[in-house]
Structure 1
Amino acid sequence: MCAHRQPGPDDPTADAMAGKTRFDDIYDQPDPRSYFRRLAPYDYEIPHHAQAVFRRTLAARRAAPPGPGLTVLDLCCSYGLNAALLNHDLTLADLYAHYAGDGTTDLTTSELIDLDKEFYAARRRPDAVRLVGVDTAAHATAYALAVGLLDEAYAENLERVPPSHGLARAMAGVGLITVTGGIGYVTHRTFDALLDAARLPLWVSAFVLRTVPYDRISQSLTEHGLRTTTDAGRLYPQRLFTGPDEQRDAVERVRAAGDDTTGLESAGRYYTRLYESRPRAV
């Protein structure tokens, strides 16, 4: 998930998140314990589904030029959850047990960081990729950097300002952008800013709530030479609704987009669709 930012009024996603429950208090804490404990009752699960997808996509991207040496940028990286699952022999259930369980309850943030450095180092995969994180949440990105989940972290709002010199430099090595929870909080402006700084053939793998339009972002990706595809029949659950108002809003938005909610949002859960964007020649 991504720390909240508000799109401009001219953007089609401007009100797409209006009926979605805000969890502002958990996105930018010094460590991820509150994040996991707050989301556990709602069975937040999209990173679990993204783990296998991102590993397959990364393998395919590494098979194309420039090869294994590329960098992945995780957009709306928060505490580095996608990085933890991509680069380590861990499951989402393992992370819930670690951060929402009793074992880390009484630790200070400093003690947790020391523990997590060893926790992640011991589970690091031999095929781990260099990973850059971008999010507006400075505390969350600082944690992910401190424990070794991210190689570089940038707490920047690309909806409002251009990439910093450091982020623009980092983009020169990025071959894949991943995102699981940020579309709607970030718009085409963020993608334009990142793709304008790209130097390698860039792939994008994005999980998008069915309540949020992706057309404008897809258009921007097209303008940067990327072709976007999706399997309309393959959906991925995100989390349970927090209550009837959130569910009602989601059902109305999905139906307004022309999609059926039977057994999906109508049954009590947000669902996402995966959009994959690659250079037209690929």
Structure 2
Amino acid sequence: MTTSGGSQVTLDETGKFSFDHVYTEPDPRPFFRALGEVGYQLPQLAKPHLTSLVDEYRAGRGVDQPTVADLGCSYGVNAALFRCAATMDDLYEHYTADEAAGLDRDGLLDRDREFLRTRDDRVPQARFVGLDVSAPALAYAHDAGFLDETVSADLENEEPTPRQRAVLSGADLVVSTGCVGYVTERTITRIATLPERRPWMAHFVLRMFSYEPIADALTDLGYRTTEAPGLFRQRRFASAEEQERILDTLRDNGVEPDDQETGGWLCARLHHSRPIDEYKDDLT
């Protein structure tokens, strides 16, 4: 199938369209062109929750500059939104504007650094560590200043190297916005057991995937997990075929599709996991 912008996409083994081709480019312009076509917005909806989580962690643990490990971070979208007075629409405009189209990678990086400098509205900042299998996406996000450190690894299938362990062991918070399902309890528990003190976690998980195996594994590590109310739109279905496949998956998993899903949107739930002695019952 071809999207309206000409991008070739196919269904992956989960029934979702695969946008893998836009995650390995030298810069994020193809990413924003392709995801903009389907109204990708989950990082925008996650931003206030991530901001509150960082502020609560800072106050609760007395850490002035928490380190956030962002799983499946791609080009550092969550970090960019957190750090900047910007929305997803601003980022779409920033990367698809005529001014951006004529730049080489170095020119685009200079433009991004200026964007970050002029819109930076979080002091003190959190530190962001990006974990992803795409080395080009990580390199760009780091060079632009969105990510402080990066780990290019597949922790589903490999143990972290000594260098990766050293970086990830500094994580105070572990977050994700849509990679669970491709990332499982293997990755999550590997990261959770690296720091001396268990990190807090917040994962936005598409409803077609179950968070239960991760929650169970974290329970064994002394965590408690709760689910925040409400649904969060990730993006529109890219085709009727994709929608049909995902709705069938939901029903097969015993999940009744919501009106938003039958109306054309992939939706996620937010799951909080924290060490049980630091949990609050009013997490939202």
Tell me, yes or no, whether TM beats 0.5: yes
Pairs within 5 Å for 1:167-178: 167-178=164-175
Instruction: Identify if the C-alpha distance between structure 1 residues 158 and 262 changes in structure 2 by more than 3 Å, giving closer, same or farther.
Output: closer
TM-fit CA distance, 1:203: 0.5
SS at match of 1:132: strand
Contact 1:78 1:141 in 2 (8 A): yes
Q: Structure 1, residues 182-216: CA drift from partner, whole Å, max 9, x if none?
A: 11111111112111212233111100000011111
Contact 2:72 2:131 in 1 (8 A): yes
The one of 140, 144, 154 equivalent to 1:143 is 140
1:110 is matched with which residue?
106
The one of 38, 43, 46 equivalent to 1:47 is 43
TM-score normalised per structure 2: 0.90
Q: Distance in 1 between matches of 2:169 and 2:205?
A: 26
SS at match of 1:77: coil
The one of 65, 70, 73 equivalent to 1:74 is 70
SS at match of 1:19: coil
TM-fit CA distance, 1:17: 5.2
Instruction: Identify if the C-alpha distance between structure 1 residues 127 and 89 changes in structure 2 by more than 3 Å, giving closer, same or farther.
Output: farther
Q: Distance in 1 between matches of 2:258 and 2:15?
A: 20
Amino acid at match of 1:99: Y
Pairs within 5 Å for 1:183-262: 183-231=180-228, 233-262=229-258
1:275 is matched with which residue?
271
TM-fit CA distance, 1:150: 0.8
Query: Which stretch of the first structure deviates more once superposed, 158-167 or 239-248?
Result: 158-167
Q: Distance in 2 between matches of 1:91 and 1:223?
A: 38
Identity of aligned residues (%): 37
SS at match of 1:248: helix
TM-score normalised per structure 1: 0.90
TM-fit CA distance, 1:258: 2.8
2:53 is matched with which residue?
57
Higher relative contact order (CA 8 A, sep 6+): 1
Query: Which stretch of the first structure deviates more once superposed, 103-112 or 165-174?
Result: 165-174
Q: Distance in 2 between matches of 1:107 and 1:99?
A: 11
Instruction: Identify if the C-alpha distance between structure 1 residues 206 and 242 changes in structure 2 by more than 3 Å, giving closer, same or farther.
Output: same
Instruction: Identify if the C-alpha distance between structure 1 residues 156 and 262 changes in structure 2 by more than 3 Å, giving closer, same or farther.
Output: closer
> Is 1:122 paired with 2:122?
no
1:23 is matched with which residue?
19
SS at match of 1:153: strand
CA RMSD in angstroms, aligned pairs only: 1.6
Q: Distance in 2 between matches of 1:162 and 1:121?
A: 36
TM-fit CA distance, 1:143: 0.2
Contact 1:17 1:184 in 2 (8 A): no
Amino acid at match of 2:197: L
Instruction: Identify if the C-alpha distance between structure 1 residues 51 and 45 changes in structure 2 by more than 3 Å, giving closer, same or farther.
Output: same
SS at match of 2:225: strand
Instruction: Identify if the C-alpha distance between structure 1 residues 205 and 17 changes in structure 2 by more than 3 Å, giving closer, same or farther.
Output: farther
2:93 is matched with which residue?
97
Gaps in structure 1 of 5+ consecutive residues: 1-15
Q: Distance in 2 between matches of 1:262 and 1:227?
A: 26
Amino acid at match of 2:52: R
TM-fit CA distance, 1:67: 2.0
Q: Distance in 2 between matches of 1:165 and 1:66?
A: 28
Number of residue equivalences: 267
